[in-house]
A and B are shown apart, each in its own frame.
Chain A
Amino acid sequence: MAFQTPTEQYSGKIREVTIGTGDSKVVTGGQNTLNFYNFEGTMPHRPLIAMEVYDTEPVEWAAALKDTLGDVWGDPVAWAKKCQDEFGADMICLQLASTDPNGADKSADEAAETVKAVLGAISIPLIVYGSGNADKDSEVLKKVAEVAQGQNTVIGTAVEDNYKSVAAAAMGFNQIVAGETPIDVNMAKQLNILMTNLGLPAEQILIDPAVGALGYGLEYAYSVIERDRLAALQQNDAMMQMPIIANMGREVWKTKEAKISQEEAPEWGDPTRRGILWETITAVSLLTAGTDILIMRHPESVKLVKKTLTEFGLN
């Protein structure tokens, strides 16, 4: 008997979003099928990896991270250049942790200086994430949008409590917004509707579904992203067709499974490989579910994810 290949065609397509400018720009989205289902549809752009850079010196990070990144900690410019030149990052994600009002509480102006310095040092596109404090982020991201004018960067995250000011800043200075909602399909759609109603073009929006790491709620993120994607492709829902960005590196590396030493947990095996795999498996799961941009931390994990993409025929 001849096997009739059960392929599926979808009516919808993920919106293409261009990040960065000129020769260094990247494009994400554009696929008319589920990720890795390029046997029955097209995936014109492979998923992208943004590597994390912090504007403060990390404390108590895993030894596996210190070994490979420790020499550039405390120097966001050197860190960003290293990710670009040595580790092959597609983009840099600058995490402005220092602006957290419960932490160092650095001002928007200070943060903007760091953004300028990093932008001046790299030739790949930039993503800038605030501290996650909605009020402070709206102040900080406004300034960031201003100093990054003309660079077509991603700023984030816009949340329920600050999306008006973040979206306004993005419209004013032509940036892209990562809109964050807590692992929920309807809330993600609602935020996209609210931001587009303000006048922010749909091509300037990414969905950040607030993912959890392997073992820490990954299954929720996995299913929500799958449902987001099926709504975009099967139901052709224009307000769900934005590319998906996962801010996952920090979630992975705060788990004890990624951090803890061999002495403290001998039963979990080699700590370096364990941490790298914790991040890589989280990343590959999120990609399989439908993520387009991963924000990652360890260079070896980045290498493994890229190898996986190559094996899937996505170069």
Chain B
Amino acid sequence: MALTGLDIYKQLPKTNCGECGVPTCLAFAMKLAAGGASLDACPHVTEEAKNALSAASAPPMRGVTIGTGDFAVKVGEELVLFRHEKTFFNAPGFALLVDDMMDEGEAVAKVEALKATKWERVGQALKANLVAVKNTSGDAAKFAGLVTKVQAATDMPLILMADSAESMEKALEVAGASKPLIYAATEGNADAFAELAKKHSAPLAVKAGSLDALGELTTKLDAAGVKDLVLDPGTRTLKETFENLVYLRRAALKKKLRPYGYPTITIPAEETDDDMMEAIHAAVYVMKYGGLIIMRDLSPEKAYPLFVLRQNIYTDPQRPMQVEQGFYPINSPDENSPVMVTTNFSLTYFIVSSEVEGSKQPAWLGVVDVEGLSVLTAWAAGKFVPERIAAFVKKSGIEEKVKHREVVIPGYVAQLSGELEDELGDWKVTVGPREASDISTFLKSYQTVNA
């Protein structure tokens, strides 16, 4: 279904004007075919050609944005089945579920509590992203009432879950302007829900009894002018949902089947009554291939590991995560505590800092910016070198924090010690252990001269 560079070239003006930023039309066509350019960059392409090409130049999985402003959540636009092939791009949005059969105060309190369900890790915010409000009662007024309360309690985008067009319409009168996800169009209500989605320019989730029926529905909705769709595979067991998510991702990326080229929505909340299993279903969908994940319970001890998993899986394998350069105090160090340095590769930092913490010995851990490489790699690349380490130590302000002048370097770069002492002047350099696992033993016997 995808066009080749030559197919695209035939539709271009062939003037080689270069205004798109590429010297020739042929080169631009090749870039388009590879997904490395957008047709919008060509100012001279005809409307006719644009229509013919837009289908082929669109990404195989559409990106869909829910909500507006800073809290908007974008899902989709994934390009690979396995993260090592490139990277996963738009991390799944976690949504907390409340419904209109719950006590309203309790529902609002649950939403309020979500504000504290956020942390920072490696310079990134880990947080819940959306609130799903469900019309379990079937009562339109009741539903709209809860939507009003929830909207007042949070800035997060909403997922409105109702079966009847009447309930959805009422809720959209309240929340439609903030582009909530409408959940969900089914065979029974598709026409009415399509109208609501168009009226409010809101994204629409689609649910059907089989993948066949799902494709028919999305084709119909696309023809009706609703472009921002999210797919519910429809199943409610781990095994079946997993299977369908794999099929949907393959259908979109490998088979380039347009009716399936949308992000997905999964609902662990409806798949199990066990709170721990709910977290495990969610974990599986973080890996394969959930776009939105709706949970009824996002207590911190569940949310934190899930958000860390999401961060791990959606880290670009080509670009290691980095920790900010600086000295980190561990176990409340004072002016006599040891000073250690390592690199700012996040994994190196996490392992070293957790070993220092585990030793219960206070220490100042210095993290040198070497563009996110591990100790040996950074040394081999000429980035973890005496000049850079010395400049860091001098400028870091550690000299005001400690009375002594001794710095511990990783055992793997023992060969740097002499040169580093020369660079640092009044500092003494001590060679620490090669492996992080030996840090605890090392620190327990190591004393700075002044201590």
From the candidates A223, A269, A280, A284, name the one contacting B83 in the complex (CB within 8 A). Answer: A223
Q: Is A307 an interface residue (CB 8 A)?
A: yes
From the candidates A2, A216, A271, A278, name the one contacting B354 in the complex (CB within 8 A). Answer: A216
Distance in angstroms from B61 CB to nearest chain A CB is: 14
From the candidates B238, B276, B317, B358, name the one contacting A223 in the complex (CB within 8 A). Answer: B317
Distance in angstroms from B190 CB to nearest chain A CB is: 16
Q: With the chains together, A280 CA to B212 CA distance in Å?
A: 35
Bitwise interface map of B from 389 to 418 toward A, beta carbon under 8 Å scored 1, else 0: 000000000000000000000000000000
A269 engages B302 (CB within 8 Å)? yes
Distance in angstroms from B342 CB to nearest chain A CB is: 15
Q: Is B306 an interface residue (CB 8 A)?
A: yes
Q: With the chains together, A50 CA to B210 CA distance in Å?
A: 39
Known: A280-B280, A281-B283. A6 touches B255 (CB 8 A): yes
From the candidates B211, B216, B304, B437, name the one contacting A268 in the complex (CB within 8 A). Answer: B304
Within 8 A of A (CB), among B215-257: 215-216, 219, 237-239, 242-243, 246-247, 250-251, 254-255
B347 engages A217 (CB within 8 Å)? yes
Interface residues on A, range: 35 or more
B299 engages A270 (CB within 8 Å)? yes
- For A262, the closest partner residue in chain B by CB is B301
Q: With the chains together, A257 CA to B242 CA distance in Å?
A: 28
Within 8 A of B (CB), among A256-310: 256-257, 267-271, 273-274, 276-278, 280-281, 284-285, 288-289, 304, 307-308
Using Cβ atoms and an 8 Å threshold, which residues of chain A touch B242? 36, 312
Using Cβ atoms and an 8 Å threshold, which residues of chain A touch B304? 257, 268-269, 274
Q: With the chains together, A215 CA to B315 CA distance in Å?
A: 11
- For A60, the closest partner residue in chain B by CB is B358
Using Cβ atoms and an 8 Å threshold, which residues of chain B touch A212? 347
From the candidates B247, B302, B309, name the one contacting A214 in the complex (CB within 8 A). Answer: B309
Using Cβ atoms and an 8 Å threshold, which residues of chain A touch B441? 102
A215 engages B219 (CB within 8 Å)? no
Distance in angstroms from B365 CB to nearest chain A CB is: 14
A219 engages B280 (CB within 8 Å)? no
Known: A3-B251, A223-B317. A311 touches B354 (CB 8 A): no
From the candidates B214, B251, B287, B305, name the one contacting A288 in the complex (CB within 8 A). Answer: B287
A230 engages B301 (CB within 8 Å)? no
Known: A227-B84, A307-B277. A268 touches B283 (CB 8 A): no
A281 engages B287 (CB within 8 Å)? no
Within 8 A of A (CB), among B292-322: 299-306, 308-309, 312-313, 315, 317
Distance in angstroms from B418 CB to nearest chain A CB is: 27
- For B250, the closest partner residue in chain A by CB is A6
Distance in angstroms from A38 CB to nearest chain B CB is: 8
Q: With the chains together, A278 CA to B300 CA distance in Å?
A: 12
A222 engages B301 (CB within 8 Å)? no
Distance in angstroms from B243 CB to nearest chain A CB is: 5
From the candidates B239, B254, B259, B300, name the one contacting A312 in the complex (CB within 8 A). Answer: B239
B239 engages A311 (CB within 8 Å)? yes
From the candidates B121, B300, B309, name the one contacting A267 in the complex (CB within 8 A). Answer: B300
- For A267, the closest partner residue in chain B by CB is B300
A277 engages B84 (CB within 8 Å)? no
A1 engages B219 (CB within 8 Å)? yes
B280 engages A256 (CB within 8 Å)? no
Bitwise interface map of B from 349 to 374 toward A, beta carbon under 8 Å scored 1, else 0: 01100100110000000000000000
Using Cβ atoms and an 8 Å threshold, which residues of chain B touch A216? 347, 350-351, 354
Distance in angstroms from B21 CB to nearest chain A CB is: 34
Q: With the chains together, A237 CA to B219 CA distance in Å?
A: 41
Q: With the chains together, A264 CA to B385 CA distance in Å?
A: 37
B312 engages A1 (CB within 8 Å)? no
Using Cβ atoms and an 8 Å threshold, which residues of chain B touch A312? 238-239, 242
Chain A residues in the interface with B (C-beta under 8 A) = 1-6, 8, 36-37, 39, 60, 102, 132, 212, 214-220, 222-223, 226-227, 230, 254-257, 267-271, 273-274, 276-278, 280-281, 284-285, 288-289, 304, 307-308, 311-313
A–B pairs, 26, beta carbons within 8 Å: A1-B216, A6-B255, A215-B121, A217-B347, A219-B83, A219-B313, A222-B313, A223-B83, A227-B84, A257-B304, A257-B308, A267-B116, A268-B304, A269-B304, A270-B300, A271-B301, A273-B299, A277-B276, A277-B302, A278-B305, A280-B276, A288-B284, A288-B287, A307-B274, A307-B277, A308-B280
Other A-B pairs, 5, CB within 8 Å; known A5-B211, A270-B299: A6-B255, A8-B250, A222-B83, A270-B300, A274-B300
